[in-house]
Amino acid sequence: MKKIILLGLLILIVALFFHYDLERFLTLEYIKAQQQVIDDYYADNRALTLIGFFLLYVVITGASLPGAAVLTLAGGAIFGLATGLVLISFASTIGASIAFLLSRYLFRDAVQTRFGTSLKAINDGIEKDGAFYLFALRLVPAFPFFVINLVMGLTTLRLWTFFWVSQVGMFAGTAVYVNAGTRLAQIESASGIFSTEILLSFLLLAMLTFIGKKIVTVIGSRKALKGFGKPDKFDTNLVVIGAGSAGLVTAYIAAAVKARVTLIEKHKMGGDCLNFGCVPSKAMIRSAKFMSQVTRSQEFGIRTASAEFDFAEVMERIQQVIKKIEPHDSVERYTGLGVDVVQGEARITSPWTVEVNGQIIRTPNIVVATGGRPFVPPIEGIDEIDYYTSDNLWEMRTKPRKLAVLGGGPIGSELTQTFARLGVDVTQVEMLPRILLREDPEVSELVREKFEQEGVRVLTGHKAKKFIVRDGVKFLVAEHEGSDVEIEFDTLIVAVGRAPRSGGFGLEEIGVRLRANGTIDVNEYLQTSIPTIYACGDVTGPYQFTHVGAHQAWYTSVNSLFGIVRRFKADYSVIPWATFTEPEIARVGLNETEAREQGIAFEVTRYGIDDLDRAIADSEAHGFVKVLTVPGKDRILGVTIVGEHAGDLIAEYVLAMRHGLGLNKILGTIHIYPTLAEANKYAAGEWKRAHVPGKLLAWVQKFHRWRRGA
């Protein structure tokens, strides 16, 4: 209401201004004609004239009314260069700040709520370089200042930054106007003050600020490299450290564009994903799923079914799967692609040199893709317990009797269900109020319900305090609502998160900056604080997925090899992921929780997969497709799919979001019957049904009635 009243008041002021043609008092002719009168008045009432002029200037600029240019000339004519400049410089900045605040108060929330996701890049740019952009705009008087005030008010720029940058940035332009005002009689028009030469000089000045920024960056880079001797010649174009998904793809692209590239791996080619992460976990999930389906045989019309298995054989199969995939990431394959693969531990010895197996490799650029390792929290007694992490659990050959899984994130949840389905008594312990906290609460609840149906004990809100062994029996003591709970186990898996592998191989010594969480700090080009060194994958984040590491690899290879010509900012606007529990969860973009937290307006469209023909035929009729769209539009803000093969189904929405296709386009696409993918189309259909043009249909109904002669 307050906003409406204020807006109404502003509209009234502007309307009155034009209705009474007050603009005529702010013309050059009028000021010229009245100059003698004003001069006389000023001579008799100095303070009053100064204050009156100041307030008038603030009101005109604050209400974004026309006439500031003529007022500035008048200021020069009445008060002279020095007084006029000081007075107008402050009045214009205060007026501009009022306009900025009015625009912010009246419109910013609405604009940010409606266009928040599209504005993200602009908001990020303003956050980082807002003062700089404003300064460049202020320098060029060709940009209408009132537009700058109003637009900046809609951004996230701080008021204080806006104030001082405006004060400094407008000073030169104001000085030119005030100075011209001192010779008012000779001026023919306000717009003619700036000769082409003066305008060009201001433009040049604005460009100089950009050049200045570039110079500051170059000086920063030089400073970071100072003290290290740059080799005269290089042995290779690029050294990549780490042959996980991020490093492998970096090397692949570099070789594809004919660069000489050296890839160094100290342990296993393929990194964590192939050897300790995605591949073994998914292979184990498959065996567990088979067992789960055997127990569900009656759902498929099979009266009884049973399966016997040996836990060790299930774990051996995982190794067979890894062996089958290994050739994709092997030394032989990459050597064949033209990559020099070196097995050994790399150590960065300068911004241009890497030591491996006692040899120094000279290179213009280095890409660090050293990944992460399981994080083991320093819980009392943990060192006295033999625990497993994703690094070594694939070596397990004896089936646990009572398993405790510490961690309710995706890895912990996948492992919890897998072991439970293989007949292990599993307790999952999570300190947060729900598992899979990154997803919407209803998603966490569905997974929890399924886990509990399958016999898992899910303990949320339980903070692990210590491990104890009593009479040879192991217990985890967890704090829950103020009291201690003892959880018995014989096997423990710690899956509480991953820490970056950023230490111990030279980064600290040469001054590569790390973030507080230990990941390597990179700019939007994935360049570290040492400009010759880039980083990608889990070691830098912000996402810890194989496909994101591979996505970043394109930027690290292209930016490091061709950065002197052109660099590209890493684009994280559409990042999908999946958690391979049952029900499977896949997501791209925002979910409801995030949209609310970020104050982004959205509409929700749901399609229940329990209604889908193929899902019913498969006895997998559960889950949903939930699409968030911009209110009233079919533009997709985010999608969550819960259900069978959700990770595959989401691909269509990833494509749609990546290429700006809305729900109408998905609805207009033929989907094969009967497939699970039809769920995507039906979700789009639900959206369409909720947005039918009612009035148009009423007319169409009338048309049909007329055709029937009724």
Is-contact 63 13, C-beta < 8 A? yes
**Alpha-carbon span 494 to 406, nearest angstrom:** 5
Nearer to ligand FAD, 538 or 620 (CB): 538
Query: How far is residue 405's CA from residue 228's CA, in Å, rounded to a whole number?
Result: 47
91-120 footprint of ligand FAD as x/- string (CB under 6 A): ------------------------------
Among 64, 72, 390, 491, binds ligand FAD (CB under 6 A): 390
**Distance set, CA 57 to CA 23, 51, 68, 90, 643 (Å):** 13, 10, 7, 10, 63
Question: Site mask, ligand FAD, residues 251-270, x = CB under 6 A?
Answer: -------------xxxxx--
The 3-state DSSP class for residue 343 equals strand
Cβ atoms of 61 and 91 closer than 8 Å: yes
Residue with Cβ nearer ligand FAD (388 or 580):
580
Pick one of 363, 370, 416, 529: the residue that binds ligand FAD (CB under 6 A): 370
Kind plus residue range of the DSSP H or E element containing 629: strand 624-629
Count of residues near ligand FAD by CB under 6 A: 38
Residues in 453-512 at the binding interface with ligand FAD, rule: CB under 6 A = 501, 505
> Smallest distance, Å, CB 265 to ligand FAD?
5
- If you count them, how many residues does the chain have? 710
Region 335-354 residues binding ligand FAD, contact defined as CB under 6 A: 345-346
Cβ neighbourhood burial of 330 (10 Å; 0-12, 13-18, 19+): middle
Q: Which stretch binds ligand FAD (CB under 6 A): 118-126, 138-146, 198-206, 240-248?
A: 240-248
Residue with tokens 């659990």: 393
Residues of span 598-637 touching ligand FAD by CB under 6 A: none
Q: Which 3-state string (H, E, C) describes 557-607? A: HHHHHHCCCCCCCCCCCCCEEEECCCCCEEEEECCHHHHHHCCCCCEEEEE
Q: Contact between 243 and ligand FAD (CB under 6 A)? A: yes
Residue 278 in contact with ligand FAD, rule: CB under 6 A: yes
Residue 576 phi/psi, 5° resolution?
-95, 160
State which of residues 141, 173, 277, 364 lies at the interface with ligand FAD (CB under 6 A). Answer: 277
Can you tell me which residue has the tokens 């003619």?
192
Calculate the dihedral angle through the C-alpha atoms of 471, 475, 479, 482, rounding to the nearest 10 degrees. -30
Single out the residue of 271, 364, 576, 623 in contact with ligand FAD (rule: CB under 6 A): 271
Q: Where are the alpha helices (DSSP H) in 105-225?
A: 109-115, 120-139, 145-153, 159-169, 171-181, 196-225
What residues between 400 and 419 interact with ligand FAD by CB under 6 A? 411
Cβ atoms of 152 and 123 within 8 Å: the answer is: no
Site string for ligand FAD, 554-593 (x = CB under 6 A): --------------------------x-------------
According to the binding rule CB under 6 A, does residue 537 interact with ligand FAD?
A: yes
CB of 174 to ligand FAD, least distance (A): 53
**Cis ω for the linkage preceding 542 (within 30 of 0):** yes
Interface with ligand FAD, residue 369, by CB under 6 A: yes
Among 37-45, 310-318, 540-548, 629-637, which window interacts with ligand FAD (CB under 6 A)?
540-548
Using CB under 6 A as the binding rule, whether residue 538 contacts ligand FAD is answered as yes
Q: Is 281 in the site for ligand FAD (CB under 6 A)?
A: yes
Complex with ligand FAD: residue 411 or 595, whichever CB lies closer: 411
Site residues for ligand FAD per CB under 6 A? 241-247, 264-268, 271-273, 276-278, 281, 345-346, 369-372, 390, 411, 501, 505, 537-539, 544-547, 549, 580
